[in-house]
Amino acid sequence: IGDELEGKPSRFHALMMFTKVDRSLSLQEKFQVAMRSMAKHGRFLEDEMLVLHYVSDAGSQELGSKMLPELLLDATFKYEVVFHEVDTLTEKLFPIVEAMQKHFSAGSGAYYSDAIFFLSVAMHRIMPAELKRIVQLDLDLKFRSNIRDLFQEFNHFPSEAVIGIAREMQPVYRHTFWQYRKENPKSRVGDPPPDGLPGFNSGVMLLNLDAMRRSTLYNQLLEPERVAHLAEKYHFRGHLGDQDFFTMIGMEHRELFHPLSCGWNRQLCTWWREHGYGDVFQLYYHCDGPVHIYHGNCNTPIPDD
């Protein structure tokens, strides 16, 4: 903790959702690719340690703790594994995110079990105050760079930013904001990069928990009335959980978000190319520069390099 106060953390925290993995071969394969590639490319200093957090049910925890030692055999760095019970976190989360669930979840009701899809949104209220920064990662990732370099992005946050996140690489939010865009034809909401606001993807996120706790604005935006007001203004109805919330508040308050380069979350899903957006798809999908992390979203295979 002393080191962290001096702004030179010796413990690097990464968290992954890890539920129902024991019942899915496909998730087990993704887990293997993610952890093996993280181990292969990870480099840390002598006194540093990577702390791997998994949010799990009992069956997935048992499987994960069996598989991890082998997957991380090639790691040259020290690491520690922490499992968090999904039920315990859900219980803490639900009262905070219940009101926003109806705007950003599939279906109509606010299902208790869906609260966990909003973990990143309220992580700063749930995790102990000693935990100052954490990176949240999907399982369907493949690392091509040192994960330690990703943590360095925390040091480039502007003063008002609380979250580091890459843009969404499909025109999904062009679709979601269809009505708002029609009513506001000059707006950049939902437009492609580099000048537009295509929204965010939550596969790789840097959560500055300290900054999230301190930001009056961010915590106001969690209040049910504020969420309802913005959802009405933008005619927003989504089903992608945390990334919908971040995308919506990002349209209003860009200063809260530190943009990661597309190479830190190179999404591969092409679903929207075949579903009415073929003409503009490339404008969103395009990503120049080095790929540090591939994201095989919507079950898209990841190239072997």
Give yes or no for residue 20 binding ligand UDP (CB under 6 A): yes
Report, in this order, helix, strand and coil percent for the chain, each rounded to 5: 45, 20, 35
Write the DSSP assignment of 28-84 as a string of letters. HHHHHHHHHHHHHH----TT-EEEEEEEE-HHHHHHHHHHHHHHTTT--SEEEEEEE
234 binds, among Mn ion, ligand UDP, none (CB under 5 to 8 A by kind): none
Residues 113 and 154: their CA atoms lie apart, in Å, by 31
Alpha carbon 147 to chain centroid, angstroms: 15
Kindly write out the interface string for residues 186-205 of this chain, putting x where it contacts ligand UDP by CB under 6 A and - elsewhere: -----------------x--
Which residue sits closest to Mn ion, CB atoms considered?
A: 138
Q: Using alpha carbons, select from 153, 146, 92, 141 the residue that is nearest to residue 119.
A: 92
- Exposure of 181 by Cβ count < 10 A (0-12 exposed, 13-18 middle, 19+ buried)? buried
Work out how close the CB of 67 gets to Mn ion at its nearest, in angstroms, rounded to a whole number. 19
Residue 20 or residue 214: which is nearer to ligand UDP going by CB?
A: 20
- Is 143 a binding residue for ligand UDP by CB under 6 A? The answer is no
Q: How many residues bind ligand UDP (CB under 6 A)?
A: 12
In one-letter notation, the amino acid at residue 282 is Q
Quote the least distance from Cβ 297 to ligand UDP, whole Å.
Answer: 3
136 binds, among Mn ion, ligand UDP, none (CB under 5 to 8 A by kind): none
Handedness of CA 39, 134, 259, 93 (dihedral sign): positive
Interaction of residue 203 with Mn ion, rule CB under 5 A:
yes
Token pair in block for residue 82: 């922490």
Sole window of 13-21, 179-187, 231-239, 256-264 interacting with ligand UDP (rule: CB under 6 A): 13-21
Contact partner, 1, from ligand UDP, Mn ion, none, Cβ < 5-8 Å per class: none
Q: Which span (44-52, 137-145, 181-189, 219-227) binds ligand UDP, by CB under 6 A?
A: 137-145
Structural element, H or E, at residue 242: helix 242-252
List 48, 114, 140, 168, residue binding Mn ion (CB under 5 A): 140
Query: Could you list the residues that contact ligand UDP (CB under 6 A)?
Result: 16-20, 27, 138-140, 203, 297-298
Query: Could you list the residues that contact Mn ion (CB under 5 A)?
Result: 138, 140, 203, 297
